Structure 1
Amino acid sequence: MTSAAPGAASAAPDEPTLRRILRATEVDTRMLGMIFALALIWVGFNVYTQIQSGEGLFLTPRNLWNLSVQTSSIAIMGTGMVLIIVMRHIDLSVGSIIGFVSTIIGVAQVRILPEYLGLDSPAIWILAVVLALVVGAAIGALHGSLVAYLGIPAFIVTLGAQLFWRGAAWWVTAGQTIAPLDPRFSLMGGGPHGSIGATWSWVLALLACVGIVFSLYSGRQRRARFRFPQRPMWAEYLIAAVGCFVVLGATLIVNAYPWPERVAARWAEANNVAVPAGGLFISTGWAIPVLIALVVGFAMTFLARRTRFGRYVYAIGGNPEAAELAGINTKRITVMVFALMGMLAAIAACIDSARLDSATNVLGQLDELYTIAAAVIGGTSLAGGVGTIYGALIGALVIQSLQSGMILLGFDSAFQQMVVGVVLVGAVGLDTFYRRRTAKG
């Protein structure tokens, strides 16, 4: 037996290369499976559109950029749904919360705030976002209180809330669509002006690479301080190289997607810029809603893995009785998790409303099912105690990739929902099989 590094787990000399790499890098094999499935979906849709139309339509900068924007709201809510399911609960109300919060901030922006602040006040969009977060957190805390202190099952509470808040959303606007919203607020929805452009995209990409390297270095220092086994140096270099490759490659793709020709022409006219004969190429870069989703993902990962609150959530999900005997205030943690879920739904409501530049009571329909599907496909166990934030982000991307690909192929919405349903059941089946196999092992 040999050791690749001091304190590292030893491996047999005849161990297969792939298994040795996975062991040394400590990569989650279930995550690799999701990434492999995602790659198959992307390549499959691209090949099919190539055969059907003579041109691969899926793996293009335009479609991938749009895919990232469309995924953002479900990805944001998926990170919160992971903690809900880890604690052995469920939240069926997030879609209705989106609709209700959307109408509240729409009415505030169009009918209330301009009367006191003026039509062009920059404070309108800020107050709208703050209002959304407060309302979302309050709704979530109410749900959590009913579950924690009255002992009503979360399924019943959130099912009733789904009906209540959807009706309340219609009541606020009497079924009307509120539009247009504040122009600054609309930037949260993406689009040519709701993106940061090529230069800032590359700056963020380089900062992200520096962050990856620093994270690996600090993790190695932390392991040494507590005398935990270390990864081999070649594994650290491999993780850093792959991480930076993904970040830089994704940035290259979003920068390859230009502004629409008419939008670029209007910008050139407004800024007295001459348009070349071949047209004006202005890189879109990273969209603001995608950056919000990434920030939320990193923040939720830190919350789940590096804080006492996150450890309590997983402890409660693993064994609620033992967690309570250990002195954990399970009721307070339950309220906090549901309040956090409500706040994330409010962020999704802001993004969806901004993307449509309008507020409507039907916004967010079926999003609760897609959010749950994203968490489960990402490896969150319905039995509780198991789940990862990055898994939910990948799961959301899988769900949206399926929908986007089927739209490109001309499938109707009913068939899209059928496919998502089959994938969800299959993911739960795989999770059940995996847990049984692990228990036997």
Structure 2
Amino acid sequence: MLRSADRSNSLLRQPRAVYAVAFACVISFMGIGLVDPILPALAAKLHATPSQVELLFTSYLVITAVAMLITGWVAGRLGSKNTLLVGLALVVIFSALAGASRTIGGIVGFRAGWGLGNALFIATSLAVIVASAAGGFGAAIILYETALGIGIASGPLLGGLLGNVSWRGPFFGVAVLMAAALVATLVLLPPTPRPAVRSRLRDPILALEHGPLARVSLTGLFYNWGFFTVLGYSPFLMHLSALDLGWVFFGWGVLVAIFAIIIAPMLRRRFGTAPTLYVNLALVAVGLLVIGGWAAHPLVIIVTVILFGSVVGINNTLVTTAVMSVAPVPRPVASAAYGFVRFIGGGLAPYVAGKLVEHVGVHVPFVIGAVVVLAGIVSLAGARDALDAADRSDAVPAAASAPVVAAPVGCLEPGES
């Protein structure tokens, strides 16, 4: 690990290619919460039900999940730079098409294409930063997590500012920013060689045969179910303008970044991965129950959602650390397997929440979300021995020394770090 002074110098003295990719990472991660502030406006303007609007999350995340299984195979044949450029180009095209669409179905479909592009991009961005950054792996991770935090925090605010003008604004805004990132990557990033060992299509699925990796990945799925229930449906409960929603989720994103980058590693060193996650997942469940129990009180929802960012940041960092610690396969393959499992949960939860609200009641999806998140504690307990062993041997740096190839190493979370 680098010392603090070394890390600071490394962060400030990086090749232009690293900053180009880091900038693209910021814009990419903006897309996670970008649509949150405009969900109520989309429902009103396009005469859509909440469950129809929630499909913007579902199509985006489910396609991202499935694409995680093939990105390693694609990158092994195109090379890292070309995979980045293809991913960026797809995001530019489909975000612009979403902004130009006149129907909710059209936007949902274009968000799916956006998800494919985003998967190709995040699948290679960290690998490129690790390979190019000065200061080694430690500095690269700090850069990546910083980009993640800035993107998560600023995405909802940008969505609120542009959405205050028009619901189409956030989509066109992402298209313009991603086009700038594409040009910067094209010009500043030198050609990258294809990896010596190419990933096979079946590698991520085979990796899930490993018990601890499968259990931690299931924990990620259960947690993401609760997380995206909040992220996807809570905007309808606040009764705020797009701009005000943007500020709420900006506050949420700031806490995500602080707790992911600073607090989570401190807690892991002090208490260990598993005990910290047990408590944190329980707090996630409490947050869901508070939102479900006080769904008719917008101020309670606003405060709870902002504070929710703290547990999100801790969980995102530590679950990802857990995956990398217990996986017996190279980091890219483990990330692909984990990304596939967890994004499935994140993609399905918002749509299910919308349907439950329409047919049962507004409290129900949050109560169900809390129960699902608590199931994550049970799943994680099955990997406790492996997690404790990883903590004792400081397995995170060991995993970091595994060969880095152009594959899904960027799966740090939505809201995930």
**TM-score, with structure 1 as normaliser:** 0.34
User: Which structure has the higher relative contact order (CA within 8 Å, separation 6+)?
Assistant: 1
Higher helix share: 2
Q: Looking at CA atoms only, which structure, 1 or 2, has the larger radius of gyration? A: 1
